[in-house]
Amino acid sequence: MEKIIQGKYVQLENVNMTFVTRKGTFEALRGIDLNIREGEFISVIGHSGCGKSTVLNLIAGLLQPTSGLLFCAGREIAGPGPDRAVVFQNHSLLPWLTCHENVYLAVERVFGKNENKTQLRARTKAALELVGLGHAADKRPNEISGGMKQRVGIARALAMEPKVLLLDEPFGALDALTRAHLQDELMSIMAKSGCTAVMVTHDVDEAVLLSDRIVMMTNGPAATIGEILPVALPRPRKRLELAENAEYNHLRSEVLKFLYERHAKKAA
Amino acid sequence: MSVITLQRKNLETDMSHETSPAQPAKAAPAPVTMAADSAAIAIHDKAINERAAKNRQLISAFFQWLLPPLFGLMLFTAIWALISYQSEGLPGPIPTWHAAVTLFSDPFYNNGPNDMGIGWNILNSLERVGLGFGMAAILGIPLGFIIGRFAFASRMAAPIIGMLRPVSPLAWLPIGLLVFKAADPAAIWVIFISAIWPMIINTAVGVSKVPEDYMNVARVLKLSEWKIATRILFPFVLPYMMTGVRLSIGVAWLVIVAAEMLTGGVGIGFWVWDEWNNLNVEHIIIAIFVVGIVGLLLEQMLIMIARRFSYE
Ligand SMILES: Nc1ncnc2c1ncn2[C@@H]1O[C@H](COP(=O)(O)OP(=O)(O)O)[C@@H](O)[C@H]1O
Ligand SMILES: [Mg+2]
């Protein structure tokens, strides 16, 4: 299995996920099949509670599927690991460490065996500069804005040089301006690093703008993949130009139709 | 001004295809103009206003924070004076004050083990508390970490802690006397066993409250148990641990007086008992104040340490 079959860098095969809770069992996912190519940017979109985070956590190895198989780079996913870095929704920075120390913790873990402290520090600095936060390295998370925290979270993930970058609604808690800014930054970073990414989102524009393919999920319980929409827009993409692009608007309305016509969420 | 407005305009058009709320940006320009025009006048007025505000703050702080406690202490002393006036044996505030002045004019005299200055008695008690509490901390805090971190350990410890914690501290004294065959270690043992529970429990509660997100970071990074303990658990648990330490010191100081009354030796508890045998009631009252004030200082000291270590 060491040789990676073309087009199947990350592979989900008939994955089912049933949570056992005190009140009984809850079938969250049923029959998820998904193949992700190397270097591909995938968005997972769906209504709140449908199981997007669960899919991401399964790839991260933070959850074990009830049944089904998951592979990454030809190996079965047995648990979490630094080859699959996660950018958490609420940044999950350690508040008692500075931005530099937060990133360094990850860098040290991944490269500490082969590199000396100077090299590790240089890596940390480079990662923070990549997200435009070189100046905030010595600040604690509670001294910087929400957008900056999320950037540190991205820097921490990227500094690990992961095979796959997993992002769980990375910009969900940010205001529209900051979000747009960070989306542009993420796009250029991903173009440079060429790393594979899976991003959970509920923002239609974000999904179309960033993705190579959009995975649209049906509503839970027993949610599954409803449709996969390829986004063939050329890169680099510019949000201003795309606004008048017919293909962009067509894709956008496709996603909207899926979410609000075919799989509308009943009012709770 | 015009530059700012222009930029705002640009932003609005930039973002028009986004779901960005343009409303707040539109409303902004007007207040900005006003602020710029009146800025110079405002600076002068501000300096005067700030000084006046500072004075007002000082006065209100005095009325809010200093006057009530003073008033409380005065009331307390007045009631004490009234009661002592009515009763025969109880000395009032004034004779007690005089006795305290003589007592504290020579706190460190030493006329043999049965007659030492109040200072020696306090220090001896503090030493026992320090030893008993110290050992409780050395054992209790790591135990708390283990119990909080591993569900099996927690389930294992639950019945033991549940059963032993409510036992009155002095019930442990005979066991101590039996095992150590000496009064001093027995007193320290009693401090140890009564001070250990708050530290175990609070540390364990802290560890079990570490947010899932931080643990997920640890799992994704595959951090070693040691790194998890030093980088995630310890910093997060520190405030909980300090609460446990504070409660423990409180209990230890509470228990030492009673333990020393029973075991004898040099110490504030024994001193109280001795003065009761001498029927020196002023000294007993002084001892009560001393115990209270030392306890208060210990507590304040720990609160300061806790603040020093808080990451917020
Ligand atoms: N650990 C868990 N235990 C029980 N139910 C869970 C657990 N995690 C998620 N769920 C349930 O699974 C469903 C999908 O959750 P999630 O993946 O977080 O949704 P999304 O990220 O799409 O909003 C929800 O109904 C949620 O309540
Ligand atoms: Mg989610």
Q: Which of B247, B225, B243 has the alpha carbon at shortest distance from B309?
A: B243
Q: Is the pLDDT of residue A168 over 60?
A: yes
Write down the mean pLDDT value for chain A.
91
Q: Which helix (H) or strand (E) segment is B199 a member of?
A: helix B183-208
> CB neighbours of A182 closer than 8 A, spacing ≥ 6?
A147, A150, A151, A154, A170, A171, A174
For residues B287 and B268, is the Cβ–Cβ distance under 8 A?
Answer: yes
**pLDDT digit string (tens) for B219-266?**
999 999 899 989 999 999 999 999 999 999 999 999 999 999 988 888
Residues, beta carbon < 5 Å, ion ligand 2: A 53
Domain A1-83+162-268: give its CATH code: 3.40.50.300
Higher pLDDT, A156 or B117: A156
Q: Give residue limits of the domains in chain A.
A: 1-83+162-268, 90-161
Sort strands A41-45 and A213-217 into parallel, antiparallel or unpaired: parallel
What's the pLDDT at A100?
A: 96
What's the pLDDT at B39?
A: 59
Q: Is the pLDDT of residue A23 over 60?
A: yes
Task: Assign A248 a pLDDT band (cuts: 50, 70, 90).
Answer: very high
Higher pLDDT, A103 or A189: A103
Q: Is A214 helix (H, G, I), strand (E, B) or coil?
A: strand
Question: What is the rounded distance in angstroms from the CA atom of residue A147 to the CA atom of residue B217?
Answer: 19
Q: Chain B residues with CB inside 8 Å of A253's CB?
A: none
Contact of A121 with chain B, judged by CB distance below 8 Å, is answered with no
Q: Which phi and psi (to 5°) does residue A167 adopt?
A: -125, 125
**Ligand 1 centroid to residue A222 C-alpha, Å:** 11
Residue nearest to atom 20 of ligand 1 (CA): A49
What's the pLDDT at B22?
A: 40
Question: What is the rounded distance in angstroms from the CA atom of residue B76 to the CA atom of residue B70?
Answer: 10
Question: What is the rounded distance in angstroms from the CA atom of residue B122 to the CA atom of residue B119?
Answer: 5
Q: According to the 3-state scheme, what is the secondary structure of B26-58? A: HHCHHHHHHHHHCHHHHHHHHHHHHHHHHHHHH
Nearest by CB to residue A240, choosing from B14, B219, B220, is B14
Gap from A81 CA to chain B (nearest CA, Å): 5
Contact of A62 with chain B, judged by CB distance below 8 Å, is answered with yes
Q: Give residue limits of the domains in chain B.
A: 35-90, 105-308
Question: What is the rounded distance in angstroms from the CA atom of residue A242 to the CA atom of residue A208?
Answer: 10
Gap from B130 CA to chain A (nearest CA, Å): 30
**pLDDT digit string (tens) for A45-79?**
999 999 999 999 999 999 999 999 999 988 999 99
What's the pLDDT at A89?
A: 85
Q: Is the pLDDT of residue A12 over 50?
A: yes
Query: Residue B225: exposed, middle, or buried by beta-carbon count in 10 A (0-12, 13-18, 19+)?
Result: exposed
Nearest by CB to residue B221, choosing from A97, A106, A142, is A106
Helices (H), A26-98: 52-60
Residue A7 has a CB neighbour count (10 Å cut-off) of 11
Query: What averages of pLDDT result for each successive group of 10 residues across chain B (312 residues)?
Result: 42 41 41 52 73 86 86 94 88 90 86 82 93 95 93 94 91 93 93 95 94 93 91 92 92 91 88 89 91 92 83 66
What's the pLDDT at B37?
A: 54
Q: Chain A residues with CB inside 8 Å of B21's CB?
A: 176
Q: Which fold has domain B105-308?
A: MetI-like fold (1.10.3720)
Residue B257 Cα distances to A56, B224, B260, B271, B295, angstroms: 59, 45, 5, 9, 12
* ipTM > 0.90 (yes/no): no
For residues A110 and A82, is the Cβ–Cβ distance under 8 A?
Answer: yes
In chain A, which among 130-169 make CB contacts under 8 A with chain B?
140, 142, 160
Gap from B276 CA to chain A (nearest CA, Å): 52
Range with lowest mean pLDDT among A39-48, A94-103, A259-268, B268-277: A259-268
What's the pLDDT at B40?
A: 58
Q: Which atom of ligand 1 is nearest to the CA of A47?
A: 22
What's the pLDDT at A194?
A: 84
Helix B39-61 / helix B29-37 crossing angle, nearest 10 deg: 90
